Structure 1
Amino acid sequence: MTVFSTVHVAFKALLRNPTRALLTTLGIVIGIAAVITMMEIGNGSSQSIKSSIEKMGANTILVLP
């Protein structure tokens, strides 16, 4: 099969099942958005914690066993 015929078959399948194509696309978009959101929340909280520790100063943290 050539690339053109493969693309043609793929588009025919998408047109035959529009609901499935829409739901699949929606799932992919939601999944990518969730991953990006969680990564940004993690980065933001990390920066917030670093900022709080820097505000306290270098000699105020005491770690005891």
Structure 2
Amino acid sequence: KFTMPLPPATPLSCNNAANNYKSFQIFTAVALVYLVLNLLSSQAFSLLERRMNPIEQTKRKQA
């Protein structure tokens, strides 16, 4: 599987949480962005893998 690092988001969210005292909301927002990006990239790479699989290509040509 492919994971996408998000290094700038964590220090920025720590600084923002220290200033606002809203750490739960900030870290939840960062986690949701990270989750959405990972889900989208995972689906995109799965689709790409299926389309580039030689066995699947021969099945599509036969159909």
TM-score, shorter chain, exceeding 0.5: yes
Structure with higher Rg: it is 1
Partner of 1:4: none
Residue identity over aligned pairs, in percent, reads 7
CA root-mean-square deviation = 2.2
- 1:57 is displaced (CA, Å) by 7.4
The answer on 1:29 being equivalent to 2:52 is no
Structure 1: unaligned runs, 5 residues or longer: 1-13
- 1:42 is displaced (CA, Å) by 0.4
Instruction: Output the TM-score relative to the length of structure 2.
Output: 0.56
Aligned length: 43
Structure 2: unaligned runs, 5 residues or longer: 1-19
Partner of 2:45: 44
Higher relative contact order at CA 8 Å, sep ≥6: structure 1 or structure 2? 2
Instruction: Output the TM-score relative to the length of structure 1.
Output: 0.55
